[in-house]
Amino acid sequence: MRVKSKKLGRLKSSIFHYTCLNLKHYINKYIHYAKLSANQKFEAGVKKGLGYAALRFFLDFFQKYILQRGILMGGPGFIYSAIRAYYSFLKYVFLWELNNQ
């Protein structure tokens, strides 16, 4: 594939990339992703217990909030870190549910 080079320019205003309409939409999106991930893991034969789900919640919250400095963002950083940790928790809870049907 050939790409012709063209002169680059500057935008006069910012571009905001919002992937969600609101907090409810954001949470529902991650619940959907957790179910998809659990199904993929189930089809791959992965087996994890509820203890692992709880551990992932705390480890992922620590990673997002402390190691990736979500704490510096205040309330939004806390909310983001908690939702991402909840996503990890749900992913393994849904996997546990699939493995125990």
**Interval 29-61: pLDDT, tens:** 999 999 999 999 999 999 999 999 999 999 999
What span, in angstroms and rounded, lies between the C-alpha atoms of 99 and 65?
31
The number of folded domains in the chain is 1
**Backbone conformation region of residue 26, classed left if phi is above 0, alpha if psi is from -120 to 50, else beta:** alpha
| Domain presence at residue 18 | no
7: its two tokens: 């002169």
| Domain presence at residue 79 | yes
Which domain range does residue 66 map to? Answer: 23-99
What span, in angstroms and rounded, lies between the C-alpha atoms of 72 and 97?
36
**pTM across the whole model:** 0.79
| Domain presence at residue 33 | yes
| Domain presence at residue 3 | no
| Domain presence at residue 35 | yes
Q: Given a cut of 80, is residue 98 above it in pLDDT?
A: yes
| Domain presence at residue 14 | no
What span, in angstroms and rounded, lies between the C-alpha atoms of 92 and 47?
9
